[in-house]
Amino acid sequence: SSGINAEWPLRPGGPPGSGKGTVSSRIVKKFSLNHISSGDILRHHISGNTELGLEAKKFTSSGLLVPDNLVTKVVLAELKSIGEKSWLLDGYPRTVSQAEELDRNYNVDMVLNLDVPFETITDRISKRWIHPGSGRTYNLDFNAPNIEGKDDITGEDLVQREDDKPESVQNRLELYSNMTKPLLDYYSDQDKVISFSGTETNVIWPLVQKYLEEKTEA
């Protein structure tokens, strides 16, 4: 089955640092959807040494990306296992070929696109510092350490991950943009993309919530 009432398949999209993870978790909680994260499912298969996990491990152990068709197998197996329940896809599909394969098996009702300015994301991520020993994370804007550059508990130095440095963030965003445009075009051609613009999750979330509430009442 498909459609809003019986099954609610949707996919949120947004660049790294756009708040996609937070919005996804709020949607799942508020609307009682099954959260299907391709990354989480792959890790579960790999740690459980399942047939699909062993296949994926051949690539991950060599530092390679898991191929499209294998990720698709993993996601489709998960969708099959939850039956007629409503779901939200996170991190999949990433390519048009994955989207086409998904369409052959399931119907995605809508794609939520979080449209956050790249400058906002670069600024947000580049203010993130971590304490390597514990993994504690600080943000210079809204969760700054008591003493600049030092962990609150141990007093040890904080570091910035290579990935969080402005030039790295910019590169990741450009890569994301190049990868995602064909996918957004694919779903836009089907009139399934709904974009929500803003600079903060707390601004975007009420818009997403209102839209989804109206869809469920329709």
Catalytic residue among 43, 94, 192, 215: 94
Catalytic residue among 11, 73, 124, 172: 172
Q: How far apart are CA 69 and CA 111, in angstroms?
A: 21
> Residue 20 catalytic?
yes
Q: How far apart are CA 187 and CA 127, in angstroms?
A: 33
Q: How far apart are CA 17 and CA 169, in angstroms?
A: 9
Catalytic residue among 80, 85, 161, 210: 161
Q: How far apart are CA 196 and CA 205, in angstroms?
A: 9
> Residue 124 catalytic?
no
Catalytic residue among 11, 20, 73, 124: 20
Tokens of residue 65, six digits: 């990306």
Q: How far apart are CA 13 and CA 160, in angstroms?
A: 26
> Residue 165 catalytic?
no
> Residue 11 catalytic?
no
> Residue 26 catalytic?
no
Q: Which residue(s) pair with 157 in the sheet?
A: 150
Give catalytic residue positions. Answer: 20, 94, 128, 161, 172
